[in-house]
């Protein structure tokens, strides 16, 4: 038991994403006024784990389809297969182009489409967050 604690004390965890960017994403929620460092650290570590899991799922789908490169379609399939993820992330992924023979082309989602779900008031798409003009 003491050996496990000593081993874990030697391991320092550093999230890979910049804490400033994670903090900005957290502050998009109007209910959040202040973010303490422990909460920021936990969310950053959770983000690392989430994206690692999503990348592994997408890579496995690419392997199953005998592809060497993970593309958007593999990511969409991985998101669809994981129900908790699909509820919030699927709407943010770009739709594959219909005129592309492989379906690997990407088109911008149009806000005029009637089959898209309307976003709840006060929310915006995650891809809009990363645009400089937003």
pTM: 0.59
| Interval 24-66: pLDDT, tens | 999 988 898 899 999 999 999 999 998 999 999 999 999 999 9
pLDDT value of position 93: 74
Q: What pLDDT is stored for residue 86 in this prediction?
A: 72
pLDDT digits (tens, 9 = 90+) for 52-110: 999 999 999 999 999 999 998 998 899 888 877 777 777 777 776 655 544 444 444 44
Half-sphere exposure of 45 (CA within 13 A, CB side): 9
């Amino acid at each position: 038991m003491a050996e496990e604690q000593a081993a874990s004390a030697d391991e320092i965890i550093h999230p890979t994403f910049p804490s400033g960017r994670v903090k900005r994403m957290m502050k998009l929620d109007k209910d959040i006024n202040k973010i303490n460092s422990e909460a920021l650290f936990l969310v950053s570590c959770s983000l690392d784990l989430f994206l690692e899991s999503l990348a592994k799922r997408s890579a496995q789908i690419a392997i199953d389809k005998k592809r060497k490169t993970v593309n958007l379609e593999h990511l969409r399939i991985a998101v669809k297969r994981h129900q908790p993820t699909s509820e919030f992330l699927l709407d943010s992924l770009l739709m594959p182009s219909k005129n592309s023979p492989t379906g690997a082309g990407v088109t911008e989602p149009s806000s005029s489409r009637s089959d898209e779900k309307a976003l709840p008031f006060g929310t915006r798409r995650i891809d809009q967050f990363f645009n400089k003009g937003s």
